[in-house]
Each structure stands twice: as structure tokens, then as C-alpha cells.
Structure 1
Amino acid sequence: MKETLSLVANAKINLYLDITGRRADGYHLLETVMQSVDLSDIVTVSLTGGGISAFCTNPDIPQNEKNICYKAAKLFFERTNSDRGAEIRIDKRIPDGAGLGGGSADAAAVLSALNTLSGLPLRAEELSELAARVGADVPFCLVGGTRVCKGIGDVVEPTNPLPKRFYLIVKPNFRCPTGEAYARYDAAPIPPRNRLEAFCNAGSRYHEEMYNVFEEIYADKQIFALKSALSSTGAIGSSLTGSGSAVFGVYEEKECAMSAAKSFPEMFTAVAEPCGSGLVTI
């Protein structure tokens, strides 16, 4: 049996994101539409005799038990009662602290790879349940495509297909820590928008229904300025993704998105296309 597997782990953007409440245990309840895009990391996983190690080409990412991929591997071995171990290498291209789900995508890749390398001990539903214990976006990243996600990320549902558009992702030179974002919401909750159904039924005009509650939570002039700048380059819509700090613009033509990227020379930019899966085995 093959002992090493490499996967492409795709980033995600949130086309719609709202907080609908909070559970008694403190977890926030979400309604979101996520879209996989072809900005990706490469995750290589090898089964070993024991122990877990994680290496990442981005030195700012933890290379120990604090790494989300380490957590994913540990939970997998515990769930399957395995005494095996794993060596994990992450070739990082998705920027961290951006709301693009890079860590979640990498963790999903680890779970998928370990399940395959171990002879598929977990069914798809069981793997998704385990993914939800790793992180809110991990169940989505296992399947990817265009999906509605609810609850704490554990409910992943298909939705109406969207017309193909191109996305210019721009990450400013600051981070938006997720914990701080939710703390701001808790201090001043924002009523749910209740426009998920409208978004899902908007068809080719979905960009007009895009929404991210964290834009209201932050009320950050830099984010609004970035959205305005994207609009001035021809974007038909723009939004924060996740809890930030990356913002994306929606373009009908790839050439327009590529040209617009030149307007942000001092920031991370990527022109991305939607894709139908979260993971691809190499």
C-alpha cells in the first residue's frame, strides 16, 4: 500500500456570511455560502511508525502541536485507534490570517490523505464529523465546490450553481484575528440579515446579494477603501472573505481581473477561478 500522498488543497471565499446566533456552549451559528477557488497549497502526507511532525514552508505557521494539521492527524489516529504516525509537509501559497481557509484546507487534506493511506476506515460522513471537530471550515474543505454551510460549519449542503466569474483576491498588510472578530460581535451583536435564500436564488446577479457581517463588525475604513478601489477597476461586486483581512472583487472577464491586480502592487494578490472540489489528489 502506498505510504505517501500529495493533495492540492484549495482556498475558499465566502460569497455570503452571516451570524444567526450563538449556542449555549459559546459557539457561533453561521449561514454562509462558500466557493472553492484555485488558489492552493500542496499538502504531502506520509504514514510513519509513530509520532506526528508538521513542516510548513511559511515560517510563521506553527510547526508543532499548535498546527491545525497536527491536530487533524492526532484526532484521526485517535478516532481510528491507530498507533501509526504521520509526517506532514505543507507547501504554502494561501496567505494566513486572510479568511481564505488555508489552514482548514490543509487540515482537510491531511484527513483525506490519512483516510486513503489507512485503507478508508472512515466513511465520508464519519470523516466530515471528525473534520468538524478540527475546525468550522474543514467539513466544507473536504468536499468544496459551491456549498451552503450552516450551524458551526457541520452542516454542508449543495446549492444552485453559479455562473462562472473570476475573483481578484487582495490581502492588505494587516491581519484580522478571528477571535477578536467574534469578540467584537459579542460586544455588539448585529441582527441576522436573513438573505441567504435571496442569494441562492439570485443567479447571474448573485454579486448584488453578497454580504459579510464582519464588514459591519469591523466598520474598517481600510476595508471599505479596498472595496471601493476594486469597484473602480471594474469589479461588479466585492466583499470581505471570512473574518478577513482579504477582500475579493468579482469580474466577468479574467483579463479585467488580471489588469486590476496591477493596482495593488504592495499587497498580496491572486486572480482565482472557481473550482468544483476542495481537494485534488496529485
Structure 2
Amino acid sequence: MLYVKAPAKINLTLDVLRKRPDGYHEVEMIMTTVDLADRIGLSETTGEIRIDSEDRFIPNDSRNLAFQAAQLMKDTYGIKQGVAITIDKQIPVAAGLAGGSSDAAATLKGLNKLWNLRLSEDELASLGAEIGSDVSFCVYGGTALAKGRGEIIEKLPSPPNCWVVLAKPAIGVSTAEVYGNFSAEKARRPDTGAMIRAIESGNYEEMCTSLGNALESVTLDLHPEVAHIKDQMKKFGADAVLMSGSGPTVFGLVQQEIRIPRIYNGLRGFCEEVYAVRLIGEREALA
């Protein structure tokens, strides 16, 4: 069995520029990986693709992005063997943390090794773009500016080191519904350039003040629970708070470790899925 780590991501910024002719939205966002990860196990079978997971919310068929990644590898490179994909799920499902995309990216990287295809990261990222908008970023990991529909990746340095508290309310958010309700006129647009400067200069305070997500107000209107988590996270002492992706997960940045217990325990009082993790921020070398 070959094991691959599939880390979650958060959006430090997310800007929606316009609707594209292909139906997708043109976005510009800065993403970074955090130390909350699924564990993907891969072992060869005689021909079929099989998904094994104890999480009942994970589809075990072609709806699963890891399944799609394996199928794409088989079809593209004429692979006869199948694969059993075990998903040890730690990242909340449908949370705005790219859990499914990261599983797909880990599957691409793992099968590249298992089937000895010797593909570069760029080739794997190109394959990933065919599966979903966040898969290319997840192939690279680390910290990056993503453009287009998310598949055009420009590497950035690691952000200033800090803790990240994640809280996901017990609701599902439809990404399609959030984008469908998005209005460029009403949105609060992030300053992507300011965030890049903050990261490049290692300025934690500027990183905090530059957080921004153009989709956040849409999700807050649709789901008041998300606004409540934001308010409570600030009240308990997070330095800066933002929703990740289209939600519903909210994250808080915290530089002083001593503050973590109060924030974590306060949120656990009314929210079941709470995590205190570190920023990873750096790319891992392709094995």
C-alpha cells in the first residue's frame, strides 16, 4: 500500500472577476495549505477502481474526485491495472477546504509513483485541471496565486507562521448557489496585491488586514450560522477571521499559541467540527 498525504487549503483572498463564456467564473485567489490532511492509500487491483472509506458522506463511485483522478490516469496513459483507493477522511466534507480536490491531487501523485509514469508536477497539475478548479493548486500545495478558474498557478513564498483555527457549522453550502447569488456590484473585493506584498515581506499584521473573500457576504446572507461563527471567533481572540472558499468553514489566524484553548473551547461550545492547526505554506517535493 502506498500512502499519500492530502492537506486542506484555506483562501487568504478570493476575488471573483467575471463570468466566463464556458459558464465558470474568472477568479483570482491566494490559497495556502494547512496541517489538516486526509490520508490516501493506494494499492493495485486487477482492473477496476474501488473507493474504500468509513466516512458515509464520501461517494464510492465516479462522483468521487479521487475516482475521477484514477480514471483519468488510466484513460490518458492506457493503464490496464486498477486501483483500490482508501480515504482516511480528516478534512470536513463540503467545507470550502478543498478536501475532495486534495484527495484527487494526492491520487494523481500517488498513481504517478505506483504506475511509474514519471510525470512532472506541471503535467499532473494539467491533468488535475480537467477534474476540478482546485485540483491543480492541490497538486503543488504550498502557497500560490490562482487565476483563471483556479488552474493557473503562480507560486508564492510561505506566509508568516501562525496557528489556524477552523470551524465548520453543521450545514451544507451549495457552491453553485453561492456563485449564482454573487453580485460584483455588492461584493467586498479583496486587495490581492496587498496580500502578496504582506506574504513576500513576511508581515503578519498586513496579512491579517488583507484577508478578503468576495463570496463571503453571499454565504453570510444565505447562512446566518456562518456569521455567528465569525463573530464568536473574533470575540474569543482570533487576530483575523475569514470564510474559506464558498464556505461554510470559517478560519481564524492566531499568532500567540496561548490564545488557542480559549478560541477552540469557546467554539466547541456550539460547533462540533473545530480544529486548531498550523499553516504549512510550503510545497512538498514530488516523490
TM-score interval w.r.t. the shorter chain?
over 0.9
Q: Are 2:277 and 1:272 equivalent residues in the alignment?
A: yes
Hey, what does 1:125 align to over in structure 2? Answer: 122
Q: Are 2:111 and 1:110 equivalent residues in the alignment?
A: no
Taking a change above 3 Å as real, the CA distance of residues 280 and 262 of structure 1, as seen in their structure-2 partners, is farther
Letter in 1 for 2:16: I
Indicate if the aligned counterparts of 1:16 and 1:211 stay in contact, CA closer than 8 A. yes
Report the CA distance between 1:211 and its aligned residue: 0.5
Mean alpha-carbon deviation: is it higher for 270-279 or for 172-181? 270-279
* Match of residue 176, structure 1, among 173, 178, 183: 173
Taking a change above 3 Å as real, the CA distance of residues 192 and 82 of structure 1, as seen in their structure-2 partners, is farther
Hey, what does 1:36 align to over in structure 2? Answer: 33
Q: Give TM-score scaled by structure 1 length.
A: 0.92
Alignment of 1:1-282 (within 5 A): 4-185=1-182, 188-190=183-185, 193=189, 195-202=191-198, 203-204=203-204, 205-220=206-221, 221-265=224-268, 266-267=270-271, 268-277=273-282
Matches of 2:128 and 2:243 in 1, distance apart? 24
**Secondary structure at 1:201 match in 2:** helix
**Secondary structure at 2:14 match in 1:** strand
Instruction: Show CA shifts across 1:132-159 (max 9, x none).
Output: 1111111111111111111111111122
Report the CA distance between 1:172 and its aligned residue: 0.9
Matches of 2:22 and 2:43 in 1, distance apart? 36
Matches of 2:44 and 2:175 in 1, distance apart? 32
Letter in 1 for 2:13: Y
Matches of 2:10 and 2:284 in 1, distance apart? 15
Where do 5+ consecutive residues of structure 2 fail to align? Answer: none
**Secondary structure at 2:133 match in 1:** coil
RMSD between aligned residues: 1.9
Matches of 1:180 and 1:278 in 2, distance apart? 32
Report the CA distance between 1:124 and its aligned residue: 2.1
**Secondary structure at 2:122 match in 1:** helix
Count of residues in correspondence between the two structures: 277
Indicate if the aligned counterparts of 2:190 and 2:210 stay in contact, CA closer than 8 A. no
Report the CA distance between 1:122 and its aligned residue: 2.4
Identity %: 33
Matches of 1:93 and 1:142 in 2, distance apart? 18
Where do 5+ consecutive residues of structure 1 fail to align? Answer: none
Report the CA distance between 1:8 and its aligned residue: 1.4
Indicate if the aligned counterparts of 2:121 and 2:140 stay in contact, CA closer than 8 A. no
Instruction: Show CA shifts across 1:94-118 (max 9, x none).
Output: 1111101111111111000001111
Indicate if the aligned counterparts of 1:129 and 1:139 stay in contact, CA closer than 8 A. yes
> Which structure would you say has the larger RCO, counting Cα contacts within 8 Å and 6 or more residues apart?
1
Instruction: Show CA shifts across 1:30-60 (max 9, x none).
Output: 1111110011111001122211111122111
Taking a change above 3 Å as real, the CA distance of residues 192 and 126 of structure 1, as seen in their structure-2 partners, is farther
Matches of 2:284 and 2:188 in 1, distance apart? 31
Matches of 1:77 and 1:279 in 2, distance apart? 25
Matches of 1:279 and 1:176 in 2, distance apart? 30
Mean alpha-carbon deviation: is it higher for 5-14 or for 172-181? 172-181
Taking a change above 3 Å as real, the CA distance of residues 280 and 56 of structure 1, as seen in their structure-2 partners, is farther
Letter in 1 for 2:176: G
Mean alpha-carbon deviation: is it higher for 41-50 or for 242-251? 41-50
